[in-house]
Amino acid sequence: MRKNVYPHQTFMQHPRFFALVPGPMSLYSWLGDIMTSAYNTHAGSWMLSSSASLLEGEVIRWMCDQAGYPNTAGGLFLSGGSLSNLTALAAARNAKLSEQEYAIGTAYVSDQTHSSVAKGLRILGFRSDQIRKVPSDTNFRMDVSALEKN
């Protein structure tokens, strides 16, 4: 390991490392990972794992309370930012468009938008011409005048 593996690992502490940022390891995340593997819980739905679903609901409710959100607020845990963006895009599309309108919907994104958003839109069936990139200003906000021109 010392000779063949460790010398060739990614050195995330190097000042020229600009790749993806992994989450930090902590004792609690390590214990949680052990428990997840040991229980082998498939938390795909309430029917498959009611205890995991109930626990998720309680933790989400607690987090909403901590943030001062109303009792109507909710959420779910996902594996990361890309899946979270995809889920949010699907929820937004479904809230605003009927299935018959999917082909005419348009998504406006800034030039600062994470690449997973465009990928998520493509997965949801948006064509390239339905995804419009809007320039941002010097404070990285979407330029409203440029948006009006789109």
Identify the three-state secondary structure at position 86. Answer: helix
What number is the average pLDDT over the span 114-121? 96
Q: Give the pTM.
A: 0.71
pLDDT at 42 over 90: no
pLDDT tens digit sequence for 73-115: 999 888 889 999 999 999 999 999 999 999 999 999 999 999 9
With 0-12 / 13-18 / 19 or more C-beta atoms within 10 angstroms meaning exposed / middle / buried, residue 120 is: buried
What number is the average pLDDT over the span 58-73? 97
Note whether 42 and 49 are within 8 A (CB).
yes
b/e map 27-52, b = 16+ CB within 10 Å: eeeeeeeeeeeeeeeebeeeeebeeb
pLDDT at 64 over 90: yes
Identify the sign of the CA torsion 127, 117, 64, 23.
Answer: positive
Share of residues in the chain with pLDDT > 90 (%): 57
Q: Minimum mean pLDDT among 42-51, 79-88, 101-110, 121-130: which range?
A: 42-51
| Average pLDDT of the chain, as a whole number | 89
d(CA 82, CA 70): 26
* Amino acid in the structure at residue 126: F
The predicted structure's pLDDT at residue 105 = 94
Of 117, 101, 119, 120, the closest CA to residue 109 belongs to 117
The predicted structure's pLDDT at residue 135 = 96
